[in-house]
């Protein structure tokens, strides 16, 4: 999700540097940062979901042992 934004931002940033367009360069930096943040959020959501599944499995195991 965020990786594409990061790549597009990096390309814009480098293009802005190459042609001396500060606005394009800054826009690229912002887009790159946004993409990095989206990727970080996606990773954290995936980790949270994995922890939730593990907790559910442990709860089921405990319930089975108590029965």
Q: What is the mean pLDDT of residues 25-54?
A: 96
Tell me the CA distances in angstroms from 46 to 2, 29, 52, 54, 60, one per residue in order: 14, 26, 10, 12, 21
**pLDDT of res. 41:** 96
pLDDT above 80: residue 28: yes
Q: What is the mean pLDDT of residues 18-37?
A: 96
Nearest to 14 by CA among 25, 23, 27: 25
CA distance 27 to 17: 11
pLDDT above 70: residue 43: yes
User: What predicted TM-score, i.e. pTM, was given to this entire model?
Assistant: 0.70
**pLDDT of res. 1:** 66
- Measured CA angle at 32 (ends 46, 4), to 5 deg: 55
């Amino acid at each position: 999700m965020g990786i594409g934004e990061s790549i597009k931002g990096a390309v814009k940033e480098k293009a802005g540097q190459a042609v001396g367009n500060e606005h394009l360069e800054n826009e690229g930096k912002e887009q790159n940062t946004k993409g990095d943040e989206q990727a970080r959020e996606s990773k954290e959501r995936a980790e949270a979901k994995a922890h939730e599944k593990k907790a559910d499995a442990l709860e089921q195991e405990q319930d089975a042992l108590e029965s």
